[in-house]
Amino acid sequence: MKKSAVISRKHMIKLLNQDLAREYQAVIGYIVYSQTMKGAKFQHIAGELARHATEELSHAMQIAKQIDYFNGTPVTMPRPVKMSAKAEDMLRFDLENERVTIIAYRQRIRQAEAMGEFALSEVLREIIVQEQEHLTDLANALGIDNPKFTE
């Protein structure tokens, strides 16, 4: 893993708030997609998406807690959620969001380590394990390989 420069607590709060807005986006996306996805062949994955929604809520709670610990204020707005009537589109939107989320958390873990904030890095490691599972569930449902991560 690449080393990261030490960032300020203020900068970390800003970055964690971007992560939080992404977690809110994930909660909303998974709620809406799990309930609107049509077609017998998507029934199983729709159930998985409903489970992802509850895990994303728990991530949001943990990230908000860390922001408060750094004396920041958690944001209240999600990143925008794309909508489509097509199940494949929904799965692709989720896959892309998970991919971006994993890249962001990999960077955040390095930054937390560089700051000596080991409790934060451990929280993020537990979250990233679930994000990777989400990514795999989505790739399997789409019948594709997991996206490659180069860094």
Q: Which residue ranges make up the site for Fe ion (CB under 5 A)?
A: 23, 56, 59, 131, 134
| Dihedral sign for Cα atoms in the order 122, 126, 127, 128 | positive
CA distances from 94 to 2, 22, 98, 107, 112 (A): 27, 11, 6, 20, 26
* Helical pair 118-142 and 87-115, crossing angle rounded to 10 deg: 160
Min CB(59)–Fe ion separation in Å: 4
- Minimum CB separation of residue 60 from Fe ion in Å reads 7
* Residue with smaller CB distance to Fe ion, 10 or 122: 122
* Residues 78, 28 contacting (CB under 8 angstroms): yes
Compute the least distance from the CB of residue 49 to Fe ion, in Å.
10
- Rounded least distance, CB 3 to Fe ion, Å: 25
Q: Do residues 35 and 53 touch, judged by C-beta distance below 8 A?
A: no
Question: Closest CB to Fe ion among 56 and 117?
Answer: 56
Specify the residue, 53 or 116, whose C-beta has the smaller distance to Fe ion: 53
For 86-109, the three-class secondary structure string (H helix, E strand, C coil) is CHHHHHHHHHHHHHHHHHHHHHHH
Give the residue with the Cβ less far from Fe ion, 29 or 72. Answer: 29
